Amino acid sequence: MGRLVLDALMVGALQTNCYILGCPETREALVIDPGAEAELIVGALDKHGLKLKTVVLTHGHADHIGACGELRRVPGVTLAVHREDAPLLSDAHRNLTAYIGSPLTLPAAERLLGDGDRVECGTVGLTVLHTPGHTRGSICLHGEGLLFSGDTLFAGAVGRTDFPGGDFKTLIASLKNRLMPLPDDTVVYPGHGPASTMGIEKEENPYLTTDW
């Protein structure tokens, strides 16, 4: 991890993990899941001397998108989301903000992601893994020995599947087929809760150890 700048912030009422990744050479940065508290995120970027280039969403739910509007006001910033979750951004009911008292709709994302795409900032690059189940367009981002797992995988748990677009069997298939093959030393940075490793999750997470 010496090649990159990595900062983790807990934002919003649901303590969503927002991640800042920066290239130590170009000082370009990407932000993953800016769920709230745009000023805190901007302050962290400034602290590290980073220039935001891309906002990436692991999915389109309220607690992961809340600060997108403010961050997109920065000149040159683009928003990236999987094409299956892109419609959630413009629908306050589908992104769940309508149910928490602060309906939010956002302009269309500049970039629609698909499985295998790359998101980059300078010399730092992550590969998109399409991992549906929590939502149809849920993704994880893998690279640099790291996995940003959104609400697909938590330490010892997984994301809910009872929201519109969620499906438990689909989530389990994503875990088994997309995440289980990753190296054990892959560090997992989830959308909520503490970090882990794939090795620990393969041994201890009941959603990975159980034959559903």
Summarised one tens digit per residue, pLDDT across range 108-162 is: 999 999 999 999 999 999 999 999 999 999 999 999 999 999 999 999 999 999 9
Phi, psi values for residue 201, rounded to 5°: -65, -35
Query: What value does the mean pLDDT take over residues 93-112?
Result: 93
Give the max Cα distance, the chain. Answer: 48
Domain count, the chain: 1
**Quick check: 32 pLDDT over 60?**
yes
Note the Cα 53 to chain centre separation in Å.
16
Query: What value does the mean pLDDT take over residues 1-23?
Result: 91
**Cα-based angle 196, 172, 175 (whole degrees, multiple of 5):** 40
The boundaries of the domain holding residue 158 are: 5-209
Distance CA 148, CA 170 (A): 19
169: domain CATH number is 3.60.15.10
Place of tokens 């600060």: 67
Q: 87 has which bridge partners?
A: none
**Quick check: 167 pLDDT over 50?**
yes
